Structure 1
Amino acid sequence: MNKNAAIASAFKLKGKYMNFPHDHFTMSFGQSRDYGIDYREFEKVARLPEGIPLMAIAGVWGDYSNIRCLFLDEDGNGYCRNISGRGGEYIIRELGLNAKDLAVGQLLTAKA
């Protein structure tokens, strides 16, 4: 099974199982590399697409002021949303959530 097929398969299970063997959302670049997650393979977006169910995959720290949040849609398309933070808050505005509070496999839909 190729990587995209495996990801799409994981999405269909609605977050109950992940093909990337990790259980925590935030991680360093080194950890993401060890898990086989490369944020550079995800489309960089300024805003997550509205009304499309997305699965939270990982939040890869760039440094202590930004985090690259990775999401997949049910077609296996990956999105990388770079979030700058302040005072421990890394708010993804279209989700109304702090990126540090996301869980691996969590299903979300961006609002308008």
Structure 2
Amino acid sequence: MQFEHTQFTLGFRQALEYGIDYRDYEKVDRLPDGILLMAIAGVWGDYSGIRCLFIDETGQTYRRHITGRAGQYIIRELDLNAKEMEVGQVVVADNG
């Protein structure tokens, strides 16, 4: 999958300019366990929250809201800081 944007973290308006509207993504409290997911973008809502967007192999999209502080926005089931993720990065959640 090709993306026009290269930076993972984007402002809401910036995301819309790339055609990314997270409001249609399924909102989840945890990413699905054991499924390959591709990172699309992290859209800032405010300075303490980021909406991380993912897509699976079937085209299902997921929105995981992460709150953070001191520059750390840890997606627990991935053990990754959302600010360090890359567009197109493939991940697998471990909810165990």
Q: TM-score range by the shorter chain?
A: over 0.9
Q: List alignment gaps of at least 5 residues for structure 2.
A: none
Superposition deviation, residue 41 in structure 1: 1.1
Counterpart code for 2:72: E
Among candidates 88, 97, 108, match of residue 71 of structure 2 = 88
Flag the structure with larger Rg: 1
Counterpart code for 2:48: S
1:103 maps to which residue?
Answer: 86
1:70 maps to which residue?
Answer: 53
Q: How many residues align?
A: 95
SS in structure 2 opposite 1:94? coil
Q: List alignment gaps of at least 5 residues for structure 1.
A: 1-9, 11-17
Q: Give the alignment's Cα RMSD to 1 decimal.
A: 0.5
Identity of aligned residues (%): 63
**Which one has a larger percent strand, Structure 1 or Structure 2?**
2
Query: 1:16-95 residue pairs with structure 2 within 5 A?
Result: 18=2, 20-95=3-78
Work out the CA distance in 2 between the residues paired with 1:71 and 1:80.
7
Moved over 4 A (4+): none
**Which one has a larger percent helix, Structure 1 or Structure 2?**
1
The two structures have a TM-score, normalised by structure 2, of: 0.97
